[in-house]
A and B are shown apart, each in its own frame.
Chain A
Amino acid sequence: MRLIAFLLAFVLAVPAYAQGIQQTKGNFEDKFRQLDEVLADPNVYRNASGAPGHQYWQQQADYKITADLDEDNRRLTAKATITYKNNSPDTLPWIWMQLDQNIFKKDSMNELTNTFGGPGRRGPAVSAGNGSEPAKLSLAELRRQQRMEDVSHGYDITRVSLTNGRALSHTIVGTLMRIDLTTPLRPGQSVSFNVDWAYNIVEENVVFARSGYEHFPDDAREGGNDIFLFAQWFPRLVAYSDYEGWHNKEFLGRGEFTLEFGNYDVTMNVPNDHIVSSTGVLSNPTSVLTATQRQRLARARNADAPVFIVTPEEALANESSNPNGTKTWRYTAQNVRDFAWATSRKFAWDAQGHKQPGAKNETVMAMSFYPKEGGELWSKYSTAAVVHTMKVYSRFSFDYPYPTAQSVNGPVGGMEYPMITFNGPRTTLNDDGSRTYSLSEKVFLVGVVIHEIGHIYFPMTVNSDERQWTWMDEGINSFLDSVAGYEWDPNMPWTRSLPRDLIPYMTSTNQVPIMTQSDSVLNLGPNAYGKPSAAYHILRDTVIGRERFDFALREYARRWKFKRPTPTDFFRTMEEASGTDLDWFWRGWFYTTDHVDISLDTIHRLRLDTKNPDIDLARRRQTLADEPEKVGVRLNREQGLPIWVLENPGVTDFYDDNDQFVTTPKDTESYEDFLEGLEDWERKVFDRAVAEDKNYYVLNFSNKGGLVMPIILGLTFVDGTTDRMYIPAEIWRRNSRNVSKLLVFEKGKELASVEVDPNWETADADISNNHYPRKIIDSRVEAFKRGPATSRTGRDLMAEVTVVEEEDDDEGSE
């Protein structure tokens, strides 16, 4: 076999034998090793393509609840008849329930393990002491401690019995309760039982929770008013699954919930001047709404803009009313995994029908409930954002699956439940009595409503396990809320989660992988929201491509709608539906804390040897001529030193007329021998290559960040033209540290410069090594000082800041 010699050969790194991902001998790492031993084994319940298996099952829990709100004492008393259907192939001797309110008991695991001044703690500010600083408690923390001392929180469970009255023995373990059945529940059987309970509602702003009441002492009414948000307010069935059995993991506050789907019939008895917003559909409107309110609701169904059911003026008037009895509101909900509600006399209420032709729910009532503190911020944007969310999210998943979608303003910053979300942003009351809000507050409102309503798709319908994996719903939801945000107004300063935004986090050293249990994650925001979102942007726009990514994401949503997916099911579905092996991507982005930094180290230019002495020797002569003059020779000349040959012009021979590159008969003969020795096909290939005389370049890359990623090249040619080249990540499969790539261009097409990832698609952390030839890259600070950046808004320079400092000094403020 003949090899045509290039002037420069490159050495291929020979990979070691890779039996494992890492090994002790040598340093080979197989970043493309399939996730075989990492992912769960496929089985009849979850198949190898990531879809529900042919014997997929899940449990069902139906609830019939009656709840009485004691507004004055802020206590809820309720009783439920719960019907639990065992669809599993297992016989269950007991069932487990979640008692989430017990997290607020003084001796809960959450309270006992709260680290003082440590990271990730929920609640008011404290700071741990050290050698030079005393420990500190804020008044808010002291208030919380006093409240925990004064009020007994957590469930008082007063009865657990079969529907025939027979008591069931039960054991409370922190936020969990085991109920022992009198006879084991066999596959296919159901059991109905009663639970009675009561609890003191936490004040959200004091105790810090996902629900509770908020007090408004300044309202006109004597004693003020409250907004009550009820969530995690009833004993809920612990999920029982094919992969984890009972999901009995203590509620520690951050790992949210995973629940069973079921049907709810809930009756709320509240003061008769309250308005109730709830999961489900109001089934007794005639007994709780006025005729006017019902007419307005009917009009809202087909309105193009939100219609008030309770106007802000009516709500304001209502603020000073006093109830003279209770009203019974009844809401029913089908196939939901949880149930939440809110009640207050402060609520204004607007609604607009969102049309989904052909869907199961052709008209979805988008509704918002808010006090005067929400003001215009809410009347303009809340319901509008609810409608916008459904329009965008349904394109990426399925028709909105429920008859209502609600946004309720209360003390909780942002929290999601089926058909209902709690959102915190508000207006600020000015001294002149007007209410205004900042642009950031507006972005927060629109953003949080999109995000929380988005959660009704993920995880309220695609029921991933939040207690184990926050990223599963938050990642997809942050990705989609950024998509929806850009479709709302691309110029709003959204809190972004694009690849380039994650670079400082991804390069930092103190992180945990995305695949970390929710309660143990450090920096939940970038870890479970930002990084997976950036990963999906990269998969969609760079690795897989929009059409196939969207197809795969829709397929995941469709397959797991009203079912319970695991990370394994997600990874497999995205691969299977997009037709892309993504094991390397999941491994790198979800199981490690590596980052992306690909360096373009060198480019070598190669030229084909023609073997023709007339051509090759002339080229070599030119190469020599192009070399710089020897320094010593130049210095001699400048010094005027005599040169022998110049001083003896009469003494010459053959070599004075012919240099070392002259073609000799021997050269010609060996060229002819070479040509004759070629097979016909070899001669053809060779002649063509010589005639074409293409430009060959070898680009040498090194992977400094650890993550293997596609190499995207921006090519600039000497003639001024540019081109983009995409090299799939698989180029790193035999050597994840250094790779070389041969690029071939037509004669005359000479490379001038090359840039890796010119559009900042891959979260490449160090762009200073992306250019060849190297370019001086401004640091952030230098770029800022240099002048107005093109795509950024609102620069504010030093001089102006200094002016403010002086002004402040003059005013003697603080």
Chain B
Amino acid sequence: MIQRIILMITLILALPMAAPVAAHQQKITLSSVSHNARTGLLEVVHRVPLHDAEHALEAQGVRAPDIVNDLKSRRAVAKYVADRFSLTHNGQPVPLTLLGTEIEGGRLIVYQEAASPGSGAQLSINSQILTDVFERQENRVNLGAGTKVATLVFSSGDRARIARLP
């Protein structure tokens, strides 16, 4: 239901890229959230296509971003990704530490961790990475590691969803 229509003024700069069928404009991110029983840490790994990420920066007004060669661009994306991904437990945001990034193939990998609320915890999750840039953006969040995962799929404007941490 549409309650009210407002202009997203911050999006004035966020004119989406016209790339209707480019194979290389993937408009998908994959994040995984898992409890590491050995370390007692909650581990979050985001995989963001490099070229998509550069457009996220352009949308924020960054001129000529270069994630591979320019550390400042990369860190800006890491911050952006961290900001667009929310994780709460018992109504409190989980304080995720941004560990850093690395480049793997055409993707930027962003690492985060926090003290784990433990296996079985009910987490409220929302991944809005790049949904402010690409309308077709679809973000997958896999809960759990290895072969048994539960997947949440988020698109633009979705609200947070509750899921059990395996």
Q: Using a CB–CB distance below 8 Å, which chain A residues touch chain B?
A: 116-142, 204-205, 208-210, 253, 256, 411-415, 424, 428, 430-431, 436-441, 443-444, 447-448, 451, 474, 477-478, 481, 493-496, 498, 501, 504-505, 507-511, 522-523, 525-526, 529, 595, 597, 704-705, 765-766, 768-769, 776, 779-782, 784-785, 789, 792-798, 800-802, 804-805, 808
Contact = CB atoms under 8 A, between A and B. Distances in A.
Nearest to B102: A795
B68 to A, nearest CB: 4
A495 B159 contact: no
A796 B102 contact: yes
B7 A440 contact: no
Given A496-B106, A766-B147, A781-B36, A438 B68 contact: yes
Contact of A135 (B5, B36, B38, B142): B5
B162 interface: no
Contact of B131 (A125, A412, A781): A125
Interface of B: 1-8, 11-12, 14-28, 30, 32, 34, 36, 38-39, 41, 43-45, 47, 49-51, 54, 63-76, 78-79, 97-107, 109, 111, 113, 131-136, 138, 140, 142, 145-147, 149-153, 155-159
A370 B115 CA distance: 52
Contacts of A122: 20, 135-136
Of all A-B residue pairs in the complex, the 5 with the closest CB atoms, nearest first, are A127-B157, A413-B19, A495-B106, A413-B22, A438-B66
A524 to B, nearest CB: 9
Contact of A451 (B23, B63, B145): B23
A795 B99 CA distance: 10
B145 A779 contact: yes
Contacts of A428: 63-64
Given A126-B156, A505-B30, A210 B140 contact: no
A789 B103 contact: no
Given A125-B131, A136-B157, A444 B51 contact: yes
A505 B31 CA distance: 10
Contacts of A526: 26, 28
B147 A595 contact: yes
B142 A804 contact: no
Given A597-B147, A781-B41, A413 B20 contact: yes
A794 B155 contact: no
Nearest to A494: B106
B143 to A, nearest CB: 10
A210 B27 CA distance: 17
Contacts of B8: 125, 136-139
A504 B149 CA distance: 9
A135 B140 contact: no
B111 to A, nearest CB: 5
25 contacts: A117-B156, A119-B136, A121-B135, A123-B135, A124-B15, A131-B159, A132-B159, A136-B8, A136-B157, A412-B19, A413-B25, A443-B50, A443-B106, A448-B22, A495-B24, A495-B107, A508-B140, A595-B147, A704-B147, A766-B147, A784-B109, A785-B99, A798-B97, A801-B75, A801-B99
Contacts of A424: 17-19, 22
Contacts of A121: 135-136
B7 A137 contact: yes
Contacts of B43: 779-782
A529 B24 CA distance: 10
A796 B71 contact: yes
B79 A804 contact: yes
A508 B151 contact: yes
Contacts of B54: 438, 440-441
A179 B97 CA distance: 64
B75 to A, nearest CB: 4
Given A766-B147, A796-B75, A415 B5 contact: no
Contacts of B45: 780-781
B3 A508 contact: no
